[in-house]
Amino acid sequence: MLKERRMVAEQIAEALFEAEAAIDAAISKTAQLTGVMPALRSQAGASALIGQDAVEHASQAIMALAEARRAIVETHKELSVAKDQIGLGAVMTSTGGDKPPATAAQLGGRQLRAVAQTRVA
């Protein structure tokens, strides 16, 4: 029975991680689109009025995707609770489970560093 629960948990985790990645990719691509439209409009010498509705709609799409991301993060939290409820709390799934911090390779070779705390007088 434990083996079956673990298999189900791994399948759900894989689907969850794919959904999270898809939402993140959609946010990134939509943000790129939103950013490039004003720049290319300006480069073309067109009026600021040109494409304004498109920029606004793309911005609304980003907000909707941010809401979707919040919902999938909450789904992730609830699935972690469910994992504990079925007795798999100490089990890490092969698809990552509760993921450890990202490695430099996952960050595109970039290293994260602490930012010095500044005091405001």
Torsions phi, psi for 60 (to 5 deg): -65, -35
Decide which of 78 and 97 is more confident.
78
Phi/psi of residue 116, each to 5°? -65, 135
- Name the band, by pLDDT with cuts 50, 70 and 90, for residue 52: very high
Q: For the segment 35-48, what is each residue's pLDDT rounded down to a tens digit?
A: 999 999 999 999 99
**Rounded CA separation 34/5 (Å):** 43
Looking at the structure of the chain, the number of domains it has is: 1
| Whole-number pLDDT of residue 93 | 58
SS3 for 56? helix
Domain that holds residue 56: 1-121
Across 73-83, average pLDDT: 96
**What average pLDDT does range 99-118 have in this prediction?**
51
